[in-house]
């Protein structure tokens, strides 16, 4: 079973990568972008076959390693 973990900076946390992307877009003529937040997507191929248990396992992985929960939030999707 596959799981995707989406990790994003929490609201109010500085995002220098997002800021750099926003500046680059503006420099390329894309002036209609108000704000950019950059995160990451991690795809896991799990041996677990039960969707609820797979989601729980991926959430545990995110809490312990994949996301810094002090400054990042995460969301898990079973695909």
Q: Where are the domains of the chain?
A: 2-78
- 2-56 pLDDT, tens digit each: 999 999 999 999 999 999 999 999 999 998 999 999 999 999 999 999 999 999 9
Taking the model in full, what pTM does it have? Answer: 0.89
pLDDT of residue 27: 96
| Residue 66 pLDDT level (bands cut at 50, 70, 90) | very high
Would you state the pLDDT for residue 55?
A: 98
Task: Identify the pLDDT of residue 64.
Answer: 98
CB atoms within 10 A of CB 58: 24
DSSP for 24-56 reads HHHHTT-TT-------EEEEEE-S---HHHHHH
SS3 4: strand
From 34, 39, 48, 43, select the one nearest 67 (Cα to Cα). 39
Return the CATH class of domain 2-78: alpha beta
């Amino acid at each position: 079973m596959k799981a995707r973990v989406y990790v994003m900076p929490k609201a109010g946390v500085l995002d220098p990568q997002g800021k750099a992307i926003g500046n680059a877009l503006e420099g390329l003529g894309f002036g209609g972008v108000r704000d950019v937040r950059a995160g990451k997507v991690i795809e896991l191929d799990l041996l677990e076959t039960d969707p609820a248990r797979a989601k729980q396992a991926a959430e545990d992985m995110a809490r312990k390693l994949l996301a810094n929960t002090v400054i990042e939030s995460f969301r898990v999707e079973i695909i």
